[in-house]
Amino acid sequence: MAEFNPTILAFCCNWCSYAGADLAGVGRLQMPPNIHVIRVMCSASVKPEYVLKAISGGVDGVLVLGCHIGDCHYMTGNHRTAKRMPLVQKVLKEVGIDERRLRLDWVSASEGEKFQKVVTEFVGEIKNLGPNPMREVKW
Amino acid sequence: MPKKVVVIGGGIAGIQASLDLADMGYEVHLVEKTPSIGGRMAQLDKTFPTNDCSMCILSPKMIMCAGHENVTLHTYSEVEEVSGQFPHLKVRIKEKARFVNINKCTGCGDCIAKCPVKVPDEFEQKLSNRKAIYLPFPQAVPRKVTIDAETCTMIKSGKCGVCKKVCQAGAIEYDQKDKLTEINASAIVVATGFDLMDASALPQYGYGSCKDVVASLQFERILSASGPTGGHLVRPSDGSTPKRLAFVQCVGSRDEKMHKYCSSVCCMYATKESILAREHVPDIETTIFYMDMRAVGKGFQEFVQRAEKNYGVRYVRSRPAKVQSARGDKGVLVTYETRGLAGEQVTEEFDLVVLCPALLPSKGSKALAKLLGLELDEDDFLKAKDMRHPVDSTRKGVLVCGFASAPMDIPDSVAQASGVAARVAELLQGGG
Amino acid sequence: MPRIGVFVCHCGHNIAATVNVEKVIEFAKGLPDVVVAEHSLYSCSEEGLGSIRKSIEKNKLDRVVVAACTPRTHEPLFRKACEMAGVNKYLFEFVNIREHCSWIHTKEPDPATEKAKKLIAMGVAKAGLLEPQKEAESNVIPTAVVIGGGLTGLTAAASLVAQGIDTHLVEMSGKLGGVLGEIEIIGPEFSRSKELLDELVNDLKASSNAKIHLDTRVTAVSGFIGNFEVTIETKGKSEKIPAGAIILATGATELAPTGEYGYGSIPGVITQLELERRLAKGDVPKRAVFIQCVGSRQPGREYCSRVCCNASLKNALRIVEAEPNSSVSIIHRDIMSYGTASERLYKEASDKGVVFLRYGLERPANVTQKQKGLVVEVYDETIDENIDIDTDLVVLATPMVSREDARDVAKLLKVPLDKYGFFLEAHVKLRPVEFATDGVFICGSARWPSSVSECMGQGLAAAAKASIPIRKGKVVVEAITCWADADKCAACGSCVIACPYEAIEIVEEEGRRYAKVNETLCKGCGTCVASCPNDAMQQRGFTSRQLSSMIDALIKNAMEET
């Protein structure tokens, strides 16, 4: 049986988490190759629809990474992200998708190691959860 | 023809002055002695009182500065001579040979990986090593490597040459010479910042003799995620995690025999470092030995109170008499007197002690002042012209900002730097 | 149909050692709308950029995708290359296959190569939907308004006019000088404040660029950076000033004690400013006790007012100089003589016989009136003893507090205050004289109690910042701003509330109500986008269609694998 190789989408904000991911790269911090980053200016611009679209299309996990609370480049953006993502998790749960397939975390531009840690942990978790059941759905 | 301004010093003050002057339409030449701009702020982990990640807020400004169409960076360079009178100053800049063609170097780092020479890293305050060919820190601007002539085997004795073999961009040039550039400048800005006093000048504080006594900037590097210990708070002697930490304020500051003045920022940064220490080691206990707790800025008093109430920092008003090794190489003993008439001498043991030494105008600023004909005050800081002109030096056309003029924190340095830009504009508009 | 060119960089070994660039190129060629896929050793080099430009011309490309390092360093470089070859710089997409791929999967070259392919597929999908953009520009009225005619406002205004900028200085009272006008001698040089203030005022009056309005209040402010309208009122008469930038320098006031230490009931208990007035008249006490931190550094007002210790040191020295047999004490909780000159003042005061006693917050001093004079009883912490000091005057060093009208000013200008009523700057470390609202600047004690040289430095800084848009004559905004599709917009107002910069308002045009974004104020964060329930709000360069296409590309290429 082939080992399950998750496909994970990550939204990273330009000022903090994207830069943190860059720093992880500069530091050659190794991590599993399952994450694909979409750069946005602020985590607050990540629409619930994107998460739902990704999951319903078969993406096994979605990671939304923003600046630490208090550090948002646009002042209050991440406050909204902090409120929004748990609601999206609720929606996932309602439709029978394990809400752990969506993870929200905060990574600053200097936290290369944290980025590595979050990515490695999340990939491990998704591997444990198994493939996204939506993969089986034929539209 | 846009008028040219030479800014000497690429720390936060020099960067801010350059950005404002460039935005105002002047052609800025930013001269920085080390291979990258960024200065002291690049070495800090976090900044008080918000505990913002220092590099995160500095890096965009560094990139903006380098990318600004009106700014030319002269890194690894120094001002050699200045002649003429305002507004016709001739500034001769010497760019030291890096032995690397910066137009070809892409900062990929292949050469660093292969270089066989290791030397103490100045950026990491000698807590770890770098190679003879190096980038001062990962976010360096410009992202170009430099060969340190004093330690490179090839430059010194003609042997090795590994970096050249490995460089696919063909950027290594062992025969590179120092380069001289002359700028016809209308004004000069001095923003040369500060150095830490070498605390071994006061042997009673154990710096240099005691392994577990470090200077504050070394502690910043230990705390930094990108620092020599990967952000793990460990002590130098045995790499163990300290549980008892102490700070000694005013080492060489407010000192009749050393430096009489107050370095202004140490009370705050010691408090900050204590808070960060707790975040790294949840059961660490920190003591700060101080004279007056100078928390005078916005949010500063609350910061100190938080440190005391929420982070268990113990503030002891006392100036330790002696700091020495506890057991051979490990641990530190601090001897101080307790308060009041019934005060007595107490010795406490700590796992790690951080000294907050006097912050001095940076090395070379005195020579620069001489070169430029600027007056210094009694503490060797650059003197302001008069009350009406707080950011003018004593020479017309030469402005000063940041720590070079007086001990001050980041916001005050940034404000002064913008202030300098206004003064340049006034002077070049025909004002006095 | 877009014509996309994909350029994959080796970055020496950095990408090529892990990612199989040739396989990636082959893959890219097969992607929708890709006309050509090339590679180079170092795309960012002169050679690399040149070859991209050549390829754009040769292959008539109208979209460019570069797969290399992080956009955070070289995006401007490649955008410029596109422009030079005639492609709008917003038709460029950067794919990170170094920091986010080759460098973090060095031991897994095959998976890294597959990942690089997917990332490029995502980038190509987005590039196909990119639209050319024109950066929004708005003009700037070349006039500045400075509100507040104290030291800081005078400094800012004097700098602006010396720079040749038309400036209106608006002062509420009948004279210029503010609080400093009440202080005769200023430390640490013991110079005369009148000389400094007169010089500033004369510089202003001598300039044809300056217009001074006394007895004048600001009653309304509308507009945005470059295009403000400031309404002022002088003795009933109203005037509207069009302005490009506004500087706030309204200062602060001395806290009036409310009975502490017998203030108001015991004669001889006065404030620092009251002492200043007495000393100016030559009324020097023989004995004085200064009490520091009266009303500050305590529950309810935690902050240290920064300037009071130095003021007491200066005045203590003035008394000692004027009255050789005087006896002066300063009772304090810390002496905040930070820096160089102030620390010297502390030492000088101590050398000249000023007595320093340290007290604690839990045991404040007590002032009682005797038959002749006053007595201050204080518990001296240093020696653990109660001390009685006979004195003629007790000077209460109270903190600077925000003005009562600070709240009104904040509302007028739509700028924030901190919990103490001091104006809140955009960023406490790196943007000390700016507000988050563009075009409005803050300096002096209205922001935080500041010394004379600090106020002046900040006034100059605000003048520099205000001059920038005025010099440029226009404000240009990066084209990643947001806009609402009026057909989809329900004018619900969620975006208006969400925007941290108050850049959106609901307008009515041609009978239709919708959300309109002020492009000059929009910072391109996209917070409004996610708050829009109708998919009406979009962000240029990050539209829902563009990001959705990236997700589709990922799904397509990932699912095809398994």
**Helix (H), strand (E) at residue C37:** strand C34-40
* Smallest CA–CA distance from A114 into chain B, residue: B225
Using an 8 Å CB-CB cutoff, list chain A residues near B59: 19, 109
Is residue A94 included in any domain, yes or no?
yes
B138 and A113 within 8 Å at the Cβ level: the answer is no
Is residue C374 included in any domain, yes or no?
yes
Asked if C216 and C246 sit in the same domain, the reply is yes
B52 and A26 within 8 Å at the Cβ level: the answer is no
Asked if C221 and C322 sit in the same domain, the reply is no
The segment with the largest mean pLDDT, out of B11-15, B278-282, C498-502, is: B11-15
Is residue A1 included in any domain, yes or no?
no
The CA R_g of chain C, rounded to the nearest whole Å, is 32
Q: What is the percentage of chain B residues whose pLDDT exceeds 90?
A: 89
A58 and C100 within 8 Å at the Cβ level: the answer is no
A112 and B225 within 8 Å at the Cβ level: the answer is yes
Among B60, B225, B230, select the one facing A110 at the smallest CB separation: B225
Q: Which chains touch B (3 or more CB pairs under 8 A)?
A: A, C
Is residue C560 included in any domain, yes or no?
no
Asked if C71 and C92 sit in the same domain, the reply is yes
Asked if C19 and C120 sit in the same domain, the reply is yes
Q: Note whether A135 contacts C: Cβ–Cβ < 8 A.
A: yes
C461 and B422 within 8 Å at the Cβ level: the answer is yes
Cα C49 to Cα B227, C69, C88, C554, distances in angstroms: 35, 14, 16, 28
Q: Name the phi and psi angles at C314, rounded to 5.
A: -60, -45
d(CA C469, nearest CA chain B) in Å: 8
Classify the complex by whether its ipTM is higher than 0.95, answering yes or no. yes
Q: What token pair was written down for C228?
A: 């403000």
Mutate: best of A14, A110, A111, A118, partner B, most B CBs <10 A: A110
Q: Hunting for tokens 């001739």 — which residue is that?
A: B90
Cα distance between the two ends of chain C: 31
User: Confidence band (pLDDT; 50, 70, 90) for A116?
Assistant: very high
User: Confidence band (pLDDT; 50, 70, 90) for A2?
Assistant: low
Q: Hunting for tokens 């720390």 — which residue is that?
A: B11
- Look at residue B276 in the predicted model and tell me its pLDDT: 95
**A17-26 vs A112-129: helix crossing angle, rounded to 10:** 100
Residues C471-516 pLDDT 10s = 999 999 889 999 999 999 999 999 999 999 889 999 999 999 999 9
Q: What token pair was written down for B111?
A: 């050469």
B53 and A113 within 8 Å at the Cβ level: the answer is no
Residues 26-45 of A with CB under 8 A from B: 26-27
Is residue A2 included in any domain, yes or no?
no
Q: What is the pTM of this model?
A: 0.89
Using an 8 Å CB-CB cutoff, list chain B residues near A16: 56
Q: How many CB pairs under 8 A join A and B?
A: 37
Among B45, B52, B138, select the one facing A23 at the smallest CB separation: B138
Of the candidates C31, C383, C20, which has an alpha carbon nearest to the alpha carbon of residue B338?
Answer: C383
Residues of chain C with pLDDT under 50: 562
d(CA A81, nearest CA chain C) in Å: 9
Query: Where residue C181 sits, what CATH number does that domain have?
Result: 3.50.50.60
Q: Note whether C456 contacts B: Cβ–Cβ < 8 A.
A: yes
Is residue C343 included in any domain, yes or no?
yes
Contact between C136 and C479 (Cβ < 8 Å): yes
Whether the pLDDT of residue B431 is over 70: the answer is: no
A25 and C103 within 8 Å at the Cβ level: the answer is yes
Q: Note whether B169 contacts C: Cβ–Cβ < 8 A.
A: yes
Is residue C259 included in any domain, yes or no?
no
Containing domain of residue C384, as a range? 283-398
A135 and C562 within 8 Å at the Cβ level: the answer is yes
A80 and C527 within 8 Å at the Cβ level: the answer is yes
Is residue C75 included in any domain, yes or no?
yes
Query: Where residue A88 sits, what CATH number does that domain have?
Result: 3.40.50
Contact between B216 and B274 (Cβ < 8 Å): no
Asked if C192 and C234 sit in the same domain, the reply is yes
Q: Name the phi and psi angles at B429, rounded to 5.
A: -90, 0
Is residue A3 included in any domain, yes or no?
no
Residue C535: CB atoms within 10 Å: 15
Asked if C406 and C431 sit in the same domain, the reply is yes
Among C297, C340, C464, select the one facing B406 at the smallest CB separation: C340
C455, C475, C495 - which closes a domain = C475
Mutate: best of C100, C434, C535, C556, partner A, most A CBs <10 A: C100
B226 and A109 within 8 Å at the Cβ level: the answer is no
Running DSSP on this structure, what letter comes out for residue B356?
Answer: E
C530 and A48 within 8 Å at the Cβ level: the answer is yes
Residues 6+ positions from C343 with CB-CB distance below 8 Å: B254, B260, B261, B262, C337
Is residue C234 included in any domain, yes or no?
yes
Is residue C273 included in any domain, yes or no?
no
Query: Where residue C125 sits, what CATH number does that domain have?
Result: 3.40.50
Among B50, B53, B230, select the one facing A108 at the smallest CB separation: B53
CA C181, C182, C185, C189 torsion-angle sign: negative
Asked if C320 and C390 sit in the same domain, the reply is yes
Is residue C264 included in any domain, yes or no?
no
Q: Note whether B226 contacts A: Cβ–Cβ < 8 A.
A: yes
Containing domain of residue A81, as a range? 8-135
- Look at residue C77 in the predicted model and tell me its pLDDT: 85
Q: Note whether A9 contacts B: Cβ–Cβ < 8 A.
A: no
Of the candidates C123, C107, C100, which has an alpha carbon nearest to the alpha carbon of residue C17?
Answer: C107
Measured distance CA(B376)–CA(C170) in Å, rounded: 38
C189 and B387 within 8 Å at the Cβ level: the answer is yes
Among C191, C340, C427, select the one facing B387 at the smallest CB separation: C191
Residues B281-335 pLDDT 10s = 999 999 999 999 999 999 999 999 999 999 999 999 999 999 999 988 899 999 9
Q: Which chains touch C (3 or more CB pairs under 8 A)?
A: A, B
Asked if C120 and C194 sit in the same domain, the reply is no
Contact between C123 and C95 (Cβ < 8 Å): yes
Asked if C391 and C405 sit in the same domain, the reply is no
- Look at residue B68 in the predicted model and tell me its pLDDT: 92
C358, C382, C398 - which closes a domain = C398
Asked if C129 and C198 sit in the same domain, the reply is no
- Number of domains composing chain C: 4
- Number of domains composing chain A: 1
Q: What token pair was written down for B376?
A: 């210094």
Q: Note whether B224 contacts A: Cβ–Cβ < 8 A.
A: yes
* Smallest CA–CA distance from A3 into chain C, residue: C562
Asked if C114 and C229 sit in the same domain, the reply is no
Measured distance CA(B26)–CA(A97) in Å, rounded: 59
Measured distance CA(B324)–CA(B326) in Å, rounded: 6
Average pLDDT over residues B172-194: 97
Is residue A103 included in any domain, yes or no?
yes
B226 and A71 within 8 Å at the Cβ level: the answer is no
- Look at residue A1 in the predicted model and tell me its pLDDT: 47
Asked if C33 and C114 sit in the same domain, the reply is yes
Is residue A74 included in any domain, yes or no?
yes
C398, C415, C449 - which closes a domain = C398
Among B50, B55, B60, select the one facing A110 at the smallest CB separation: B55
* Smallest CA–CA distance from A47 into chain C, residue: C530
Residues 243-302 of C with CB under 8 A from B: 297, 302
Average pLDDT over residues B14-21: 98
Our CA dihedral for B149, B151, B154, B159, rounded to 10 degrees, sits at 160
Mutate: best of C124, C438, C527, partner A, most A CBs <10 A: C527
Cα C278 to Cα C260, C282, C323, C354, C395, distances in angstroms: 21, 6, 14, 20, 11
The chain-wide mean pLDDT, for chain B, equals 95
**Helix (H), strand (E) at residue B118:** strand B118-120
